Amino acid sequence: MTVMNEVNTLKNYINGEWVSSRGSEILEILNPANKNEVVGRVQQSTAEDAESAIIAAEKAFRSWNKVPSPQRGEYLFKIASLMEEEQEEFARIIVKEEGKTYNDAIKEVQYAAGIVRYYAGEGRRMTGRIIESDMPNVQIETHKEALGVVLVVTPWNFPLSIPAWKIAPAILAGNTVVLKASSETPLTASKFMEVIEKAGVPAGVVNQLIGPGKLVTEMIHHPAVKAITFTGSNRVGRLIYNEAAKDMKRVLLEMGGKNPLIVMEDADIDAAVQLAAAGGFGQTGQACTATGRVIIHKSIVEEFTQKLVARAKEIKIGNGFEEGVEMGPQVNEGERQSTLALVKSAVAEGAMLLTGGGIPEIENGEDGFYVEPTVIGHVTTQMTIAQEEVFGPVISIIEISDIDEAIEKANDIAYGLSAAICTKNISYMNKALSEIQAGIVKVNMTTTGTFFQAPFGGYKESSTGTYKELGSEAIEFYCQNKTRYINSNI
């Protein structure tokens, strides 16, 4: 029986006001740890609502673009401070609608606030350059200009940090934004809009539309939309890319990963086990940088596997608010079934299920979308489980004989987002750093986690590869560079 709590029907945030959708379809947001609890309701938006949001952003751009970037940065400083002040409320919302543990939710809020503060500082570092001219009395200079309205489409797995790392550089550069966040996590996005409103950001600079993904296609083709930034699945990313190409619009896509952790024969096995478990089971494996494959030297595979299996069995699963819980549920039943189906396919193709692979027997477990931490052995690179992104708490073990084979198997994949190697050997480190085909390569660290001052982005089918997110490099996507010639001899 569904518990009908007193929950609000969320509204769109358009032109500085909270307005009801014109749609009639109502979507209920369920707690992934308790599918009987409704935590919010969404009145799905329509094409007319999308048009209103884009028009508001287009109008606001005319004045926002003229605000000096240091002043735009001051708004971001206010947003970051408010996020920190309200981090506990943000965290509670994230746990209730996404299913993270409370500790992971708090970390996400702090990380997101750090991102916003970082870009606030970039407001005083928006510079052009002077170029030597061939002619006397002619000065050549470059100048960064904003694009206009940016459509931001974000996923559910990091419902605050990903909107933050797109919106902050976008508005810092002078653009205005329409956010279409995931329908799975609209409460977090709405709370973010509340903070933006409290910070005094002018009306129309940031707008949020709550609605189905099908609205994105029409929004892409709106003449006022100048760029689209998306994080999510490869399937949706390809659709967005193809639609934007019809109008030759700028696109930034960050998509899937099937990230390898290489463990060489000289590695600290206990440390490597902890890195694998953190990367594969942290966030319930629902991260594009999650460790999906452990590529391990055959001389230590038995000891490593035994310890990883033991660690998986120790993990406490449950509601993210419960003390000691290390792993929460998957976000919905569809994601859980997708994970379980890929585990079954691995066994059918000849892999060995070493632990997990099912629904855990925990108190009130039948009410949530829980999956056991899973380790699969005897995996080969030809198996489906080695090629497809699971997006659940599943680690596949792949044996290798030397560093060359390890890198070959790490690269034998359509994706190239993140990778890591565990070793004390400098030669191994350098070889991995140079030869692994991924946008992020780490040594003796997890495949997950990034520092916001460093650029983020993948190779191959993990990204469009044209621009980066995070770091000062991210601002380039949201700017166009004008070259200006000035003849002063007139």
Q: Is 254 a catalytic residue?
A: yes
Hey, what are 391's tokens? 């997006």
Distance CA 54, CA 208 (A): 10
First to last CA, the chain: 81
Distance CA 468, CA 288 (A): 15
Question: 14 pairs with which residues across the strands?
Answer: 17
Please report how many Cα atoms fall inside a 13 Å half-sphere around the Cα of residue 190, on the Cβ side.
22
Sign of CA dihedral 94, 97, 100, 102: positive
Single out the residue of 190, 187, 156, 232 nearest to residue 37, CA to CA.
187
Single out the residue of 227, 156, 157 nearest to residue 464, CA to CA.
227
CA angle at 300 for the pair 295 and 306, rounded to the nearest 5°: 90
Single out the residue of 428, 381, 431 nearest to residue 409, CA to CA.
381
Distance CA 165, CA 230 (A): 11
Give the Å distances, CA to CA, from 372 to 337, 384, 422.
12, 20, 25
Hey, what are 392's tokens? 């659940």
Helices (H), 132-231: 161-172, 186-198, 215-220
Which of the residues 254, 335, 461, 469 is marked catalytic? Answer: 254
Amino acid at 29: I
What angle do helix axes 161-172 and 69-85 make, rounded to 10 degrees?
Answer: 160
- E strands, 273-359, are 291-297, 352-355
- Residues with catalytic function: 254
